[in-house]
A and B are shown apart, each in its own frame.
Chain A
Amino acid sequence: MKWRYLKDSAAKISIRSSLILINLLALAVVAVLLIKSKPILMTHPLSRLLFSSSWHPVKGEFGFLPYIVGTIEVTAIAMILSVPMCLLSAIYLSEFAHKRFRELVRLVIDILAGIPSVIYGLCGVIAVVPFVHELGRLLGSPTTGYSLLSGGIILAVMVAPVIISVTMEVLAAVPKEARESALALGATKWETARHVVVKASLHGIIAAIVLGFARAFGETIAVLMVIGNVAKIPVSLFDPAYPLPALIANNYGEMMSIPLYDSALLFASLILLFLVGVFSLGANITLSRLMKRGYYGN
Chain B
Amino acid sequence: MRSRRATESLFKALMIISLAVVLTTLAGIIFIILVKGAPALTLSMLIETPKGGYYLGKGGGIANAIVGSLYLSLGASIISILLSLPAAFALQKEYANRHIANFTRLTLDVLWGTPSIVYGAFGFVVMIYFGLRASLLGGIIVLTLLMLPIMVRSMEEVIRMIPLELKEISYALGATKLETTFSVILRQALPGIVTAVLLAFGRGIGDAASILFTAGYTDYIPRSLFDPVASLPLAVFFQIGTPSPEVQERAYASALILLVIILIVCVVSRLLGRRFSKHIVR
Residues of A with Cβ closer than 8 Å to B? 4-5, 7-8, 11-12, 14-16, 18-19, 21-23, 25-26, 28-29, 32-33, 36, 84-86, 88-89, 91-93, 96, 105, 107-112, 114-123, 125-127, 157, 160-161, 164, 188-191, 194, 214, 217-221, 225, 245, 248-249, 252-253, 262, 265-266, 269, 272-273, 276-277, 279-281, 284-285
Contacts and interface: CB of A to CB of B under 8 A. Distances in A.
A160 B236 CA distance: 23
Q: Which 5 A-B pairs have the closest CB atoms?
A: A218-B115, A116-B206, A280-B113, A92-B15, A220-B209
Interface string B214-240: 000000000000000000011011001
Interface core residue of A23, A118, A123, A269 (most chain B CB under 10 Å) = A118
Nearest to B145: A25
A88 B19 contact: yes
Contact of A15 (B86, B179, B233, B266): B86
Contacts, number: 255
Contacts of B262: 114-116
A21 to B, nearest CB: 7
B83 A281 contact: no
Given A11-B181, A190-B12, A281-B110, A220 B115 contact: yes
Contacts of B145: 25, 29
A16 B255 contact: no
Interface of B: 4-5, 7-8, 11-12, 14-16, 18-19, 21-23, 25-29, 32-33, 36, 83-84, 86-87, 89-91, 95-96, 100-101, 103-104, 106-122, 124-126, 145, 148, 152, 176-179, 181, 199, 202-203, 205-209, 212-213, 233-234, 236-237, 240, 251-252, 255, 258-259, 262-263, 265-266, 270
A69 B178 CA distance: 53
Contact of B114 (A29, A189, A219): A29
A242 B266 CA distance: 33
Contacts of B114: 29, 218, 273, 276-277
Contacts of B202: 114
The main secondary structure of chain A at its interface with chain B is helix
Contacts of B4: 188, 191
A111 B266 contact: yes
Given A125-B240, A266-B125, A276-B114, A119 B90 contact: no
